[in-house]
Amino acid sequence: MDYSLRVNRKTIAETRHPDRNRQFEIINETKKYFEDSGQPIISVDSKKKELIGNFRNEGKAWTKIVNEVLAHDFRSQAIGVGCPFGIYELLTNLGTVIVGTSYDTPTALSKFSIST
């Protein structure tokens, strides 16, 4: 028998839509319109949700002692969930990162006022 423990492998590519590039052309046209009229151009992005609490993370730090953390990352032991959102204004080259507690980007961002 040739059985062994295996995982899925992503090898099958879907065919591309004939108008795939049109979405990006529309975004660039809209960006150019706002840029020419001096209006702000805002880019919003969110990242992976992180449990807040005494959990292991992927970062490294120079330190004299080892930071002891919980052996398992259970949601029930978390203080909360941090949802980082980035807001970037292209014309002024200014950005901000907000760590919210909602999985819903518009809900989390509606609580903040951004001014340039």
Q: Span 68-88, mean pLDDT? A: 87
Q: Span 98-113, mean pLDDT? A: 66
- Residue 15 forms part of a structural domain: no
Strands 50-52 and 94-100: what pairing? unpaired
Q: Cα 19 vs. chain centroid, distance in angstroms?
A: 27
Show the domain range for 53: 40-109
- Residue 2 forms part of a structural domain: no
Which pLDDT belongs to residue 33?
A: 94
- Residue 22 forms part of a structural domain: no
pLDDT band for 116, please (50, 70, 90 cuts).
very low
Contact present, 114 and 87 (Cβ < 8 Å) = yes
Q: Per-residue pLDDT tens for 30-69? A: 999 999 998 988 888 877 888 888 988 887 888 888 889 9
SS3 59: coil
Is 66 exposed, middle or buried, given 0-12, 13-18 or 19+ CB atoms closer than 10 A?
Answer: exposed
Residues present in the chain in total? 116
Q: Is the pLDDT of residue 12 over 80?
A: yes
Q: What is the pTM of this model?
A: 0.50
- Residue 105 forms part of a structural domain: yes
The number of folded domains in the chain is: 1
Q: What one-letter code names the amino acid at 102?
A: S
Sign of CA dihedral 67, 71, 76, 81: positive
Output the CA–CA distances (angstroms, integers) from residue 37 to 4, 23, 26, 28, in the order listed. 61, 22, 17, 14
- Residue 115 forms part of a structural domain: no
- Residue 77 forms part of a structural domain: yes
- Residue 17 forms part of a structural domain: no
Which pLDDT belongs to residue 112?
A: 61
- Residue 78 forms part of a structural domain: yes
